[in-house]
Amino acid sequence: MNIEEFFALKESPFKTTVDEKYYFSSVQHRTAFNKIKYVIDTMGGLTVVIGGSGMGKSMLSRRLILDLNPKEYELGLIIIAHTGVAGALLLKQIAQHMGVSNASESDPVGTISALYKQLLILNQEKGVKPVILIDEANMFDKKEQMEELRGLMNLEGQGQKLINLVLLGIPELEHSLRLDPALAQRVILKITLGPLQQGEVKAYINHRLRIAGGSEEIFDDDACDIIYNVSRGIPRLINTLCLNTLWRAKDMGTRIVNANIVTAVAKESLGHLNGI
């Protein structure tokens, strides 16, 4: 028997992949979301979201893409998979997301001019707001990449910025920004995405259990407090700990998880992490 059967769940509630339907509107996420949306709505330009690993940055970026109405926003999400991405390739991807059909890596000058025209059309004729989100932006390690982004931030029409950029990454993103101080200076909003608060952990866990089609009464209050202490409120660690705890509880034949089970599982499943 697997945990889904044992706990009468339709699916696994604590996967560590990003699945937007599990989005929990925590204080941190809600505040970040609203601030970013405000900057986008006012064509403010450059926003930076910094948060430790597992804090929910990718979840936030996906949620923005889903929640912003495509009739009002032209949206593009780029995930930087490795260091050393050529600035010209980045520009091409951004242009393609904005609907430029002949964007080319070998012709960055032509691409930026086509992008400029397209951004004018989007802003002034179609009345939609262009937004590019770049996840894992901490992978930027070259000044030319940052200069390419600065070039975009410099594009203006009728005294307005023409495109919004949201860069998301782990704290090393600060180093990337320092590669081009002139770009760093253009950051209009910098958000630090923090962990869940202690009082939110139980609601977060129950929210995920409910979305997975199960009962919200599996983890008791003391278990949730231990989960908070061990994970320090970091969603990815909460998920890992909860999943391992469900497996253990199933093996023990108990449908209610208490603090003892969580403590034992934490030592075993998260012991390899620093400070736990």
Ligand X SMILES: Nc1ncnc2c1ncn2[C@@H]1O[C@H](COP(=O)(O)OP(=O)(O)O)[C@@H](O)[C@H]1O
**Interface with Mg ion (CB under 5 A):** 57-58
Residue nearest to Mg ion (CB): 58
Distances in whole angstroms, Cα of residue 28 to Cα of each of 35, 46, 169, 172, 184: 11, 20, 16, 20, 23
Residue nearest to ligand X (CB): 56
Residue span binding ligand X (CB under 6 A) among the ranges 42-50, 65-73, 151-159, 234-242: 234-242
Burial annotation 120-136 (CB, 10 A radius, 16+ → b, else e):
eebbeeeebbbbbbbbb
Distances in whole angstroms, Cα of residue 92 to Cα of each of 65, 133, 234: 20, 15, 35
Give the shortest CB-55-to-ligand X separation in angstroms: 4
Q: Nearest to residue 100, comparing CAs of 120, 86, 85? A: 120
- Residue in 3, 9, 13, 22 binding ligand X, rule: CB under 6 A: 22
Residue span binding ligand X (CB under 6 A) among the ranges 53-61, 74-82, 111-119, 155-163: 53-61
- Residue in 74, 137, 235, 262 binding ligand X, rule: CB under 6 A: 235
Whether 132 and 165 have beta carbons less than 8 Å apart is answered as yes
Give the shortest CB-123-to-ligand X separation in angstroms: 30
Number of C-alpha atoms within 13 angstroms, CB side, residue 164? 27
Query: Binders of ligand X: how many residues, by CB under 6 A?
Result: 20
Residue span binding ligand X (CB under 6 A) among the ranges 20-28, 124-132, 172-180, 184-192: 20-28
Whether 118 and 150 have beta carbons less than 8 Å apart is answered as no
Q: Which residues are paired to 129 by β-bridges? A: 73
Nearer to ligand X, 130 or 235 (CB): 235
Examine residue 202 and tell whether it contacts ligand X (CB under 6 A). no
Nearer to ligand X, 121 or 203 (CB): 203
Examine residue 55 and tell whether it contacts ligand X (CB under 6 A). yes
Examine residue 18 and tell whether it contacts ligand X (CB under 6 A). yes
Phi then psi for 169, rounded to 5 degrees? -175, 170
Nearer to ligand X, 16 or 215 (CB): 16
Examine residue 57 and tell whether it contacts ligand X (CB under 6 A). yes
Three-state DSSP class for residue 230 = helix
Q: Nearest to residue 62, comparing CAs of 22, 91, 100? A: 22
- Residue in 3, 46, 48, 59 binding ligand X, rule: CB under 6 A: 59
Applying CB under 6 A, which residues contact ligand X?
Answer: 16-19, 22-24, 26, 29, 51, 53-59, 235-236, 239
